[in-house]
Amino acid sequence: MDDAIYSVIAGSAINANGKGKSLTMPEGDMQAETIKEAYRVAGRDPAEAFYVELHATGTKVGDPIETNAAGKVFSKGRDANKTHRAGSVKANIGHAGGCSFLASLVKVSMMLHHKEIIPNIRFQKANPKIDFPALKMQVQTELEAIKPEMAAKDGKWVTSISSYGVGGSNAHIVLETAETVSDLIKNASVTTSSDKKPLYLFSIGSLTVPAVGRWKDATLHSLARDLGRQSRAYAARSFAVASTLDASTKFSKTVLSNSNASPNYALSSPARSSARLHGRQLAEVYPVFLNLIRENDRILVEKYGQESMLERTGLFIPGAECKLAANGVWPVQEVVLSLVFVQIAMVDLVRSLGIKYDFVVGHSIGEIVMGYASGHYDREMAVGIAAARAAAMVKADGNSAMVALGVGVQKAKMLMRKVMSDAKVSSGLWIAGINSPQAVTVAGEHELVDALVAFAKDPSVMVFAAKLRASCAFHTPLMEAQEALFKDRVGATPLSQGTKTPIARVMSTTDGKWLERDLDIDYCWDNIRRPVLFGTAINKMVTDEGANGILFLEIAPHPVLKSYIEQCGGECISLVRCPNPKVPAQNTGKHYQFLEGIGNLISSGFKNVDFNRHCASPDGTANFTKAKLPEYPYNKSHCWAESLREQSCRLQEKSRPVVSSHFRINVDMHSDLTGHVIFDAVVFPASGYVESILENGAMVASNVAIHKPLILNGTGSIPTHVGCVIDSDKWEFKASPDVKGQIVLNTVYAGGQFSRVNPAYDESAPRMFDFNAKLASSRGSVNGDEFCEAIPSAYRYQEHFKDYLKVVQEIDDDNSWGGKAYLTRLEVPEGTPDVFGDGYVIHPSILNSITQCGLAMFINMDMKLFDFNSVFLPIKIDALRRWNSRNAPDMDAEVKKGIWTYFTERTWAPGGPFKSDYIIANSEGRVLFTIEGFEITRAPDAEPVAITDNSLEERLTTTWQAKAFPAVPFSLASSEDSLSPVFKVIVGAAGAAGHKVVRAIDLAQTTDISMGLDVALGDLKQSGILVEYFCAAGIPGDADSKTGLLKHSHVRSLAVESWKLADNAESTSILR
């Protein structure tokens, strides 16, 4: 019963076009008929669906036919505010051929399971032949949550899938969720944020307590689910309610179950309980509980025209002042409504946990809740019956009293006769309830009830007697005067139209036997007028079902019926209980008690618990990770013989992360760098280029130039070949554009000079930095979260790249441009994974965080806003010098102490350049390294890049890439040939050498050359070589005139005042 249901196929249909228009062209009419038939089989209206998965393959002819045909079916009768969403998995994964339907089925099923609509990627412009507005349809282009308002009338979410085959076969299926909107009440085991730690119910079976500490799992709710499911197979069961699971977790006493069958489970609802304190506590702990109470109250106001009970009394609402007496003596109307409201909400809580009951039983007013739990009443009926009963009881209020006696019914009658005899009356006291063989309730006139209480306490009698907080003689002839009023009020509720189909068997405490009649208006009146035969009913249940095992679960804010059930031979479990001032250790709070009650139910042998729902995550989704079982210590193990080569590799010293002259990299191999996200792509940080030369022993890196970003390939992709190539005192970080075949590192991403010695380093006189003195000049600050919020949204740093910055202080400093410098504090916890001990000199995320603090110069410290809407990229570093040691392999020990960074500006201008210096010191003020002349520039926008390659790499490239292209020998055609063939030969040779893009500038004052090359430019583009052709002129208008005559797609105008050839410095021409 715990298997996950991702979706339900409610209907299907298939037909064929026959001959059709062609082998591949669809027939819209036949496709529409397939959809209609599938929905007819499902018993649904197509207008109920919120999403359709189309076959759509992206064709200009087929897609409009299919979409228009489907849209006409789904739009008929559809609410204009409920747009029908459409998509196709082929946009995301391509055409899966014969498996395309299965791919769509998996997609839509997972959508329904996760309650999210998956977007179609790469959809930019709709086919003009599809009238989406008229069809009330839209292509899903964004990830969107599936909302309750998207559900059909019965509360289920409905979707469908079209799939078509070559030759004219058409198929359509209707999918819907197994659960409804009302079923998806948030998991009741989830507490509000006021709890310090969430609590989990861990239910275990035989012999697992010693192994508890060895369980390993990604999430505790997954572990709680797996343990609970396995415990059902064991005869011995125990449980614990805790916020974590380890060897110190305390489990309950083990309970033995001799039967493999699950005992039957009866839900019992009492007639009285303390709702004032406990209902409010439940509302504080479980927000869903409060929502259910509010829904009951809404029905009371909107359906029955009464004043809001919540507003009138202040009950249940956390923080609201209760307007009722603290001693619990309340007006009878509030007693009835509060009790019914609380118990209906608790029934829904139990249902939301996936706990299925077999029987229901109620006591007096509790039979209203019993009818709701059994399915005879819906919520509106139950609230209406409670309101009618309250009205009748208000009318009878004050006419009598009630007393509970701790004796059997026969002795109670003897005491009643004695009291009435002494009072010289023949009536006035009645048995109002038989609760158990040792407990009855007596009701009657005030004087007689008082006399009965006094007589019971006489030393010669000594019978337990407690006068109840009731001013009506319920379940006696004294209530008969209210029959007409009650039936009139109930007749105005939906109960007058009949009850619903029951879902559980009912034991009637009005009749004292299994229910043999309907819970109609007459039954409701009998429930008020007749004595409560609770003890008789419970004894009947125990007798009939005791052999199969029966458990009673009392749903109330405080247990009332537990002792009565146990006196009748039954076993009762209470969900929550009142605080016991004598045993403070038991006052564990309602959340703990609620889970404890469920734990007792499971330990008693009950198996019908849906652990998928009980242990679902806070948002209600059932995403579980399979827990790893403890291994049996005596399992046979296999040891493989290790070859000498494998042994050599194993014993070889581990290479540092980015030190090698040739290694491979992607997000899988360097997962600790995946947090450096810019424009939604994982970019290898520029600090990684610097780290590569530091790992090669550099104590000084100088004249560093950063040319180009390196985009890391995604998960499962082939890694990129890169390396830090050293030549004497020069270094370059290179990569290969190829991932297969012959690999040549010919693309330079960064480079510069380096030295393995810092000649200025003096071990006897370490450099120090007084950050406390700088703090004294602080005039504003932002914390780390405010900093990340302020910088442009393109910086989408995650994990290591955003977690370490704690504060940025703005400092008065006349030596910094504009009189402002910035002091920042970074803290990296010692146990941070992947940062320390993995071979980095300083992890790129830390160095990136240090340099990124320079963006503080664009932040308004008062408004916490960024002054420039731009992305800035590092392009140069004059020098990075290490001062922490002469040759220390890393800075881990220093970084763990905390880092101070002092940032001063050298130059600043609106258009750049922006050049700065950094001092980086540990928490003791010792300088670790300095960065001199760190220059950043704005990332180029789309305008300077004429080629229409809008990839992230193009957007972040600040300089044209220097490549070591191989020389390709070629010979020019004879001078008699025209310019076009010669131009093709030259550009073709560049393409053979590896160039993909060639720039050509036309400096001629006429259009002869440009017009002569127009056709050749198109031919070259078709061959895979793109020529970016610039028509130059001294006046922009002249350049535009030349440009406008060309058909080539990549032609641009260029205004040039003068030019000179590189090999003829003396020759300068003016374009006029």
pLDDT at 464 over 90: yes
The pLDDT tens digits for 530-552 are 999 999 999 999 999 887 888 88
| 643 domain residue, yes or no | no
Where does a domain end: 575, 590, 610?
575
DSSP character for 768?
B
- Give the model's pLDDT for residue 354: 73
Same domain, 364 and 330: yes
Same domain, 496 and 593: no
pLDDT at 956 over 70: no
- In percent, how much of the chain has pLDDT > 70? 86
- Give the model's pLDDT for residue 81: 85
Same domain, 564 and 587: no
Same domain, 841 and 932: yes
- The Cα 287–Cα 348 span in angstroms is 13
Cα distances (angstroms) measured from residue 851 to each of 425, 677, 847, 860, 949: 98, 16, 6, 18, 29
Residue of 86, 88, 7 lying closest to 49 (CA atoms): 86
- The Cα 465–Cα 458 span in angstroms is 11
| 20 domain residue, yes or no | yes
Where does a domain end: 415, 450, 469?
469
For position 737, which CATH number holds? 3.10.129.10
Highest mean pLDDT among 646-660, 968-982, 1040-1054: 1040-1054
Same domain, 219 and 118: no
What tokens does 191 get?
């507490």
pLDDT at 949 over 60: no
Residue of 24, 14, 29, 39 lying closest to 65 (CA atoms): 29
- Give the model's pLDDT for residue 261: 65
Torsion-angle region of residue 507: left (phi > 0), alpha (psi -120 to 50) or beta?
beta
- Give the model's pLDDT for residue 285: 66
- Bridge partners (DSSP) listed for residue 917: 904
What tokens does 1061 get?
């050839």
Same domain, 375 and 521: yes
User: Taking residues 602-613, what's their average pLDDT?
Assistant: 79
Contact call for residues 556 and 250 (beta carbons, < 8 A): no
pLDDT confidence tier of residue 193, bands split at 50, 70 and 90:
very low
CB atoms within 10 A of CB 958: 18
Domain that holds residue 322: 266-398+480-575
pLDDT at 146 over 80: yes
Same domain, 123 and 257: no
| 764 domain residue, yes or no | no
Residue of 570, 535, 310, 515 lying closest to 404 (CA atoms): 535
For position 33, which CATH number holds? 3.40.47.10
- Residue 128: is the preceding peptide bond cis (ω within 30°)? no
User: Taking residues 657-685, what's their average pLDDT?
Assistant: 88
- The Cα 602–Cα 231 span in angstroms is 9
Where does a domain end: 945, 967, 995?
945
pLDDT confidence tier of residue 968, bands split at 50, 70 and 90:
low
What tokens does 550 get?
């029966």
- In percent, how much of the chain has pLDDT > 90? 39
Cα distances (angstroms) measured from residue 691 to each of 131, 681, 846, 882: 55, 21, 11, 12
pLDDT confidence tier of residue 284, bands split at 50, 70 and 90:
confident
User: Taking residues 1031-1045, what's their average pLDDT?
Assistant: 87
pLDDT at 192 over 80: no
Same domain, 581 and 625: yes
pLDDT at 828 over 70: yes
User: Taking residues 758-770, what's their average pLDDT?
Assistant: 92
pLDDT at 845 over 70: yes
Domain count, the chain: 7
pLDDT at 210 over 80: no
pLDDT at 433 over 90: yes
Query: In sequence order, what DSSP letters do the residues of 558-587 get, joined into one string?
Result: S-SSHHHHHHTT-EEEES-----TT-GGG-
Residue of 25, 594, 497, 609 lying closest to 262 (CA atoms): 609
pLDDT confidence tier of residue 184, bands split at 50, 70 and 90:
low
CB atoms within 10 A of CB 99: 11
The amino acid occupying position 406 is G
* Strand, coil or helix: 688: helix
Q: What pairing do the DSSP bridges indicate for beta strands 51-53 and 158-165?
A: parallel
Which of 431-445, 629-643, 707-721, 921-935 is the least confident region? 629-643
- The Cα 878–Cα 847 span in angstroms is 16
Which of 6-15, 334-343, 366-375, 437-446 is the least confident region? 334-343
- The Cα 564–Cα 574 span in angstroms is 13
pLDDT at 633 over 70: no
Torsion-angle region of residue 856: left (phi > 0), alpha (psi -120 to 50) or beta?
alpha
The pLDDT tens digits for 496-511 are 999 999 999 999 999 9
Contact call for residues 271 and 338 (beta carbons, < 8 A): no
The pLDDT tens digits for 34-56 are 999 999 999 999 999 999 999 98
Residue of 348, 386, 381 lying closest to 366 (CA atoms): 386
Cα distances (angstroms) measured from residue 333 to each of 347, 391, 1017: 22, 7, 90
Query: SS3 sequence, 436-491?
Result: ECCEEEEEECHHHHHHHHHHHCCCCCCCCEEECCCCCCCCCHHHHHHHHHHHHHHH
703-735: burial string, b at 16+ Cβ within 10 Å, e else? ebbbbbbbbbbeeeeebbbbbbbbeeeebbbbb
pLDDT confidence tier of residue 959, bands split at 50, 70 and 90:
very low
- The Cα 810–Cα 863 span in angstroms is 13
Cα distances (angstroms) measured from residue 32 to each of 13, 35, 41, 76: 11, 5, 14, 12
DSSP character for 724?
E
pLDDT confidence tier of residue 557, bands split at 50, 70 and 90:
low
pLDDT at 387 over 90: yes
For position 781, which CATH number holds? 3.10.129.120
Which strands sit side by side in the sheet containing 681-684, from one edge to the other? 677-678, 681-684, 710-711
- Mean pLDDT score of the chain, rounded to an integer? 83
pLDDT at 418 over 90: yes
- Give the model's pLDDT for residue 295: 92
What stretches of 903-1054 show up as alpha helix (H) in DSSP?
A: 952-956, 979-992, 1008-1022, 1036-1044
User: Taking residues 463-487, what's their average pLDDT?
Assistant: 91
- Give the model's pLDDT for residue 246: 76
Crossing angle between the packed helical segments 379-396 and 287-302, to the nearest 10 degrees: 70
For position 405, which CATH number holds? 3.30.70.250
Which of 77-91, 593-607, 961-975, 1017-1031 is the least confident region? 961-975
417 or 273, greater pLDDT: 417
338 or 281, greater pLDDT: 338
CB atoms within 10 A of CB 941: 10
Cα angle 728, 729, 734 (rounded to 5 degrees) comes to: 85
- Give the model's pLDDT for residue 800: 81
User: Taking residues 727-748, what's their average pLDDT?
Assistant: 88
- Give the model's pLDDT for residue 190: 46
Number of residues in the chain:
1072
- The Cα 209–Cα 231 span in angstroms is 12
Furthest-apart CA pair in the chain: how many Å? 143
8 or 741, greater pLDDT: 8
pLDDT confidence tier of residue 645, bands split at 50, 70 and 90:
confident
pLDDT confidence tier of residue 273, bands split at 50, 70 and 90:
low
The pLDDT tens digits for 71-102 are 999 999 998 888 999 999 988 888 888 899 99
SS3 content of the chain, % helix, strand, coil (to 5): 35, 20, 45
| 1 domain residue, yes or no | no
| 276 domain residue, yes or no | yes
* Strand, coil or helix: 1070: strand
For position 248, which CATH number holds? 3.30.70
- Bridge partners (DSSP) listed for residue 919: 902, 930
| 600 domain residue, yes or no | yes
DSSP character for 548?
G
- The Cα 156–Cα 902 span in angstroms is 59
Residue of 1018, 680, 706, 1040 lying closest to 877 (CA atoms): 706
- The Cα 44–Cα 51 span in angstroms is 14
Highest mean pLDDT among 421-425, 667-671, 979-983: 421-425
What tokens does 443 get?
């009701």
pLDDT at 264 over 90: no
- Give the model's pLDDT for residue 927: 94
- Give the model's pLDDT for residue 622: 66
Cα distances (angstroms) measured from residue 639 to each of 290, 573, 704, 791, 902: 59, 53, 50, 54, 55
Cα distances (angstroms) measured from residue 972 to each of 24, 513, 720: 50, 109, 37
User: Taking residues 952-959, what's their average pLDDT?
Assistant: 49
708 or 466, greater pLDDT: 466
Which residues contact residue 179 at a Cβ distance below 8 angstroms, ignoring those fewer than 6 apart?
Answer: 156
Which of 255-269, 468-482, 925-939 is the least confident region? 255-269
Contact call for residues 1055 and 1046 (beta carbons, < 8 A): no
Which of 29-33, 290-294, 316-320, 373-377 is the least confident region? 316-320
913 or 116, greater pLDDT: 116
Same domain, 915 and 888: yes
* Residue indicated by tokens 């109670």: 412
- The Cα 237–Cα 257 span in angstroms is 8
| 192 domain residue, yes or no | no
The pLDDT tens digits for 647-669 are 777 777 778 889 999 999 988 88
Same domain, 682 and 720: yes
Which residues contact residue 122 at a Cβ distance below 8 angstroms, ignoring those fewer than 6 apart?
Answer: 91
Same domain, 448 and 376: no
The pLDDT tens digits for 17-39 are 876 666 667 888 899 999 999 99
| 966 domain residue, yes or no | no
Same domain, 563 and 593: no
- 1041 CB-contact burial (10 Å; exposed 0-12 / middle 13-18 / buried 19+): middle
pLDDT at 131 over 50: yes
